[in-house]
Amino acid sequence: MLNSEGEAYNGKYIAVGYIPSGSTGVNGSIDITAFIDTNKVAISDTYDGTESDLMGTTNDWVMGREVFTTTEWNSFDSVNPLSFKVKVEANEGIWVEEEKFLTMKNFRTDSNWTAIKTNITSIEFHKDGVAPANYVTSFDVTDATSDPTKGNITLYTVDDGLGNNSYKAIVVANDIIYAPEDSSDLFNGMTNLVIFNSENLRVNNVRSMTQMFKNCTNLKEISSLYQWNTLNVTSLAAVFDGCRNLSNIHALSSWSVNSVQYMNGMFNLCISLIDISALRNWDVSNVMYMHVMFSGCVNLINVNALANWNVENVINFKQMFYVVPSLEDASGINNWNINSTANFTLMFGGTTPVHPEFTKVQGTWSNGTFTPNV
């Protein structure tokens, strides 16, 4: 019995598992069960080796890459169009393969990239397969795991017209581009990057975003990150560490962080950050590390937007709000469940006398450190 998980994007359901071409003549049955919150629907059919029999019509499943378009699936659009699981169970004779994507490699150590990254002011991703006119440099950034039938991915640099020996980076392919599973440090150190346009970049397969935008000190425009599906990400550690000009993080309100365990240093030294209300509805129930998360956010006024965060599994709050002198109110997190936390060292150091009055665990505050009663 084989299992596979799928995802929904923009109301269109695409499964990762698929019946490969060439399966004609193989008999078996397939059961598909979709779970969306508390709702469940099961769809079953028998495959006798003809494409038209599978799931009823050729529009339901396409050989080699199934796309679910049945009424049963689409009826869930209004419930939660960005979160569901598909279980594909196949008995002997039917097999499931993982679909390959047009995947970009992590080029953080590529000498072609390190030579120019500090001169890049903007980056964008194109799926038209057309090289930009008058490009200055180019190099291949296709990952070894990428589907070879979908062509290569090329990074071009183009003069940005600012007259500062600076460039625009344009990543070009013939289809939607997928970021690598390990995207840690991918754009780290792009000190002159201002605009990041990820309209044609998907992060569905990414597990780690650790330090992905670290030290992008001039980064301001990240609105396109709103469409990122971060459901599989387990680490957001230091992802925006040192982004000193980042002030608008509204795009992050759509992120699913259910799988994330590491948020330590996520917004460290984001000195322009004032409003964190975009994070209000994040499900952080699996996060274990939040140390240094907002450390050095010197213009942050209050943390009340985080009132409903479920932090019951967090074990480290060290320096979470360290040196946040503008903080006026921390009462919003009074009711956090901190029973699992072992380290509160300087959690509010440098912000005193402002700190929460925890109600779930009794203790005392001293110089920004909370000490639970024994």
Report residues of the chain scoring pLDDT below 70: 1-99
Closest CA to 143 of 155, 152, 135, 134: 152
Backbone torsion region of residue 320, taken as left when φ is above 0, otherwise alpha when ψ lies between -120 and 50, otherwise beta: alpha
Question: Given this model, what pLDDT does residue 4 score?
Answer: 36
pLDDT of residue 156: 98
Q: How far from 233 is each of 94, 121, 322, CA to CA, in Å?
A: 30, 27, 26
Q: Is 357 a member of any domain?
A: no
What per-residue confidence (pLDDT) applies to 99? Answer: 61
pLDDT at 246: 97
The two structure tokens encoding residue 12: 């269109």
At residue 252, what is the residue type? L
> CA-based angle 264:266:271, to the nearest 5?
125
DSSP code, position 17: E
Digit-coded pLDDT (tens) for 136-172: 999 999 999 898 889 999 999 999 999 889 999 999 9
CB 55 within 8 A of CB 88: no
Q: What is the pTM of this model?
A: 0.76
Give me Rg for the CA atoms of the chain. 24
Domain limits at 37? Answer: 6-98
Cβ atoms within 10 A of the Cβ of 342, count? 12
User: What is the reported pLDDT for 351?
Assistant: 87
Q: Is residue 84 a part of any domain in this protein?
A: yes
For 260, the token pair is: 């994330």
Question: Is residue 10, in this structure, part of any structural domain at all?
Answer: yes
- The structural domain count of the chain equals 1
| Rounded Cα–Cα distance for residues 95 and 2 (Å) | 7
Give a yes or no: residue 61 inside a domain: yes
Q: Is residue 51 part of a domain?
A: yes
